Amino acid sequence: MLRARHALLLLGLVPLASCDGGLRVNRQGDPCVGDLITLRVEVVDAQGRPVKDATVTATHVASEVSITGTTNDRGVTTAVNEELGEGTVRVMATSGSKVSPPAQVTWTCDGCNCNPEPSTVQLQLNP
């Protein structure tokens, strides 16, 4: 009988504990949900002019997972994003028979997002 009283007493105190500094529920949703962090990649020709429709491929060095994108009229793509995960990523561009030297980007992740360093890459296609 004494145990039953203690149990009831404790159950009665649980709502009070949650009213003052107790468990909180984030009703706004997951704070990590939002747009993906992207890497801005610009592709230019040997004269420094933007290259439209160049294919940009980013490959995670350790996992070999890759993302491919195509440049717009300004020679830019933001298809490369944080879904590749933390670590080193090699980024290259091709257009026809022209290929750029690879650039290296390091993605560092926290509890919510991964960020690239550098945040922008310019790739120049070989003549």
Structure tokens at 117: 């360093």
- CA 66, distance to chain mean position in Å, is 13
pLDDT score, position 38: 97
Sign of the Cα pseudo-torsion (32, 37, 104, 70, in order)? positive
Q: What class does CATH assign to 40-124? A: mainly beta
Task: Give pLDDT tens digits for 41-87.
Answer: 999 999 999 999 999 999 999 999 999 999 999 999 999 999 999 99
Cβ-contact 90, 71 below 8 angstroms: no
pLDDT score, position 34: 83
Domain locations in the chain as residue ranges: 40-124
All residues at 6 or more sequence positions from 123 whose CB lies less than 8 Å from its CB, including other chains = 41, 42, 43, 44, 56, 91, 92, 93, 100, 101, 103
Task: Give pLDDT tens digits for 23-35.
Answer: 444 435 566 778 8
